[in-house]
C-alpha cells in the first residue's frame, strides 16, 4: 500500500498553542495535499510532531519510525521537517518513495537552545535512497532557507529544484491558496 507522511514547519510556541488558529498539520496546503493523495489511493497522514516549537531530533526520529517507512512511503517535509528528512535519510540505510523538501531548513536561525543538526553530514547519495527527490524553493524566502538550499546543492550532485517567484516560505498568506499543484504533480508523476 502506498502511503505518505506530510509534516509541518516549526511554529513558535505561542502560535502552536493559540486556539484561534488551525493545528500545524491542518493549515496552509497540508490538508489539500493530503486529500489529493487520498483520492489517488495513497493513504496520507499529516501528524503533529512532538513539541514542534522546541524540536528534539531523537524524539522526532522515534516518532517517524513508528510509521512503517518503506519504498512505498512518500515523505513531504516543510522547513525544519524537510531538513529533518535530509538528516534522517543521510543517517539511515533505508529506501523510500518520493521525497519533497519544501523550503528546507538545515540550520538554526531562531535564538533557541537546541542543536537539531549537530554532527550532521548530508549523504551525497541520498537521492539513490528515494524514488525521486525534489526541492521546492522560492526566490524571496528567508536567507537561512537559501543557505540551506545552497548546502544541499553543494553536497548532492544533480539535485532537482523547482524555483518559484514570490512564494516566500510556502504558507497560506504568501501563496494565497491552499493548493500546491506543482508538488502534487511531482509526487504522482
Cα separation, 40 vs 26, in Å, equals 19
The answer to whether residue 118 scores a pLDDT higher than 70 is: no
49 within 8 A of 118, measured Cβ to Cβ: no
C-alpha cell at 96: 523510500
- How is the chain split into domains, by residue range? 3-188
100 within 8 A of 187, measured Cβ to Cβ: yes
The answer to whether residue 153 scores a pLDDT higher than 80 is: yes
CA distances for 41 relative to 32, 35, 78, 149, 157, angstroms: 15, 10, 22, 31, 32
Architecture of domain 3-188: 3-Layer(aba) Sandwich (3.40)
Helix or strand (DSSP H, E) at 158: none
In the predicted model, what is the mean pLDDT of the chain? 89
* Model pLDDT for residues 51-76, shown as the tens digit of each residue: 877 788 888 899 999 999 999 999 99
The answer to whether residue 115 scores a pLDDT higher than 90 is: no
The answer to whether residue 104 scores a pLDDT higher than 90 is: yes
Amino acid at each position: 500500500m502506498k502511503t505518505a507522511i506530510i509534516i509541518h514547519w516549526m511554529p513558535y510556541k505561542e502560535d502552536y498553542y493559540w486556539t484561534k488558529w488551525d493545528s500545524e498539520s491542518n493549515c496552509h496546503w497540508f490538508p489539500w495535499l493530503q486529500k489529493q493523495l487520498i483520492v489517488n489511493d495513497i493513504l496520507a497522514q499529516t501528524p503533529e510532531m512532538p513539541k514542534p516549537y522546541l524540536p528534539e531530533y531523537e524524539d522526532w526520529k522515534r516518532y517517524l519510525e513508528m510509521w512503517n517507512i518503506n519504498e512505498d512511503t512518500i515523505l513531504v517535509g516543510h522547513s525544519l521537517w524537510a531538513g529533518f528528512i535530509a538528516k534522517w535519510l543521510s543517517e539511515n540505510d533505508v529506501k523510500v518513495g518520493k521525497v519533497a523538501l519544501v523550503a528546507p531548513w538545515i540550520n538554526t536561525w531562531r535564538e533557541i537552545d537546541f542543536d537539531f543538526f549537530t554532527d550532521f553530514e548530508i549523504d551525497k547519495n541520498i537521492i539513490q535512497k528515494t524514488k525521486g527527490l525534489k526541492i521546492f524553493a522560492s526566490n524571496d524566502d528567508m536567507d537561512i532557507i537559501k543557505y540551506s538550499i545552497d548546502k544541499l546543492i553543494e553536497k548532492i550532485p544533480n539535485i532537482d529544484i523547482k524555483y518559484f517567484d514570490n512564494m516566500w516560505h510556502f504558507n497560506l498568506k504568501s501563496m494565497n491558496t491552499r493548493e500546491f499543484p506543482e508538488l502534487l504533480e511531482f509526487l504522482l508523476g
